[in-house]
Amino acid sequence: MNVIAPISTLQTEFRRHVVRHVDKTFDWDAFPSNRGYPELERAQMRYVGAGGSPKVGEAGTLAPEHFTLSLIYKHVGKYAACHAHEIEESFLIIQGVLTVGWERDGEVVEVRLGPGDMILNARDVGHGFRNDGVEPVLMSISVDVGKPLPPRYLYHPKMGIDPALARSFGAAPGKTLPFDPDGSHPLQQQMARYVIRRSEQPAIREASGVQRRVYVGPGGIESDTCRKDMLGVPAGVGVKPYARDVEDAFMVLEGSLTVGWEEDGRSVQTELGPRDLLLTPAGRRHWFRNDGIGPATVWNVVGTSAPETVRFEAA
């Protein structure tokens, strides 16, 4: 007779912190302020917290602490109205090309971001985004506080703003500048400190073979909230268990990653595929390994701005 072993408390807790992409659905009504404006249509898939949506406490969405994390899907031709937050917010492009605009005093600087590129939208800076490409945009958004305040809209059509002005994020004709990291305009100079091009960010190779590209934190964009790295994990590479004093999240972007927790000599594990996520609480020993046949690309968000102390040691 087969005996089914009881599920341990560790296994139960571990499963609660894994979010499967196939178990989630995109919410096309995540932002009620956009109702009645089809040009603003976008969908959100919430993994950690609600982000800028008022839909907090959703079943199957993990409770936030120092950051939120969600996916945003944007059709070609649609845009998001210019708004500002009291805290920093990052856009990491997964698919497509996104135009992001920053506004100040009626002038706008626009930057185009492709897969692997990221912008950290600064606090209280008016920003919007638009899909001018030929394919839908999929991006990960993280707001760097557990429960952000509602966005403060600056140029939204519901305010009676001319539709063309709203679509240009508040810039009248002739008031839009292209992004130039060497430009002389103050808004260009400010934005240059908050844009990361994946192709330009050096890869730090750990002794384990893991590659780490710093997006936010020492060596990347300066911030006093959260760190964000892009990890490259070659096939067959794994790291020893480690713990942090804050939570961290892994979202697989490409390939697959086996992740696990360890406690009192016991270990539990699962495999994450593309757009699956594991959120590990502070103090929990955890590890990862690439058991696949190809490399894995993983987005890593850490709930502190303090310099990195973890060194990924080969398992």
Alpha-carbon span 32 to 158, nearest angstrom: 12
Contact 219/201 with Cβ under 8 angstroms? Answer: no
235 alpha-carbon distance from chain centroid? 24
Span 150-191, pLDDT tens digits: 999 999 999 999 999 999 999 999 999 999 999 999 999 999
37-66 residue pLDDT tens: 999 999 999 999 999 899 999 999 999 999
Percent of residues in the chain assigned helix, strand, coil, to nearest 5: 10, 40, 50
Q: How confident is the model at residue 301 (pLDDT cuts 50, 70, 90)?
A: very high
**pLDDT confidence bin for 149, thresholds 50/70/90:** confident
- 105-131: pLDDT as tens digits: 999 999 999 999 999 999 999 999 999
Mean pLDDT of 57-86: 96
Identify the pLDDT of residue 77.
Answer: 98
pLDDT of residue 2: 44
User: In this structure, how many other beta carbons lie within 10 angstroms of the beta carbon of residue 63?
Assistant: 10
Q: What is the pLDDT of residue 7?
A: 62
How many angstroms separate the CA atoms of 291 and 234, rounded? 9
Question: pLDDT tens across 236-247, in order?
Answer: 999 999 999 999
Note whether 53 and 27 are within 8 A (CB): yes
CA proximity to 296, closest of 211, 215, 196 = 211
Q: Which helix (H) or strand (E) holds 143?
A: strand 137-143
Burial class (CB in 10 A: 0-12, 13-18, 19+), 211: buried
Residue 169 CA: distances (Å) to CA of 79, 105, 283: 9, 11, 43
For the chain, what is the mean pLDDT? 95
At residue 14, what are phi and psi to the nearest 5 degrees? -60, -45
Q: What mean pLDDT do residues 260-282 have?
A: 96
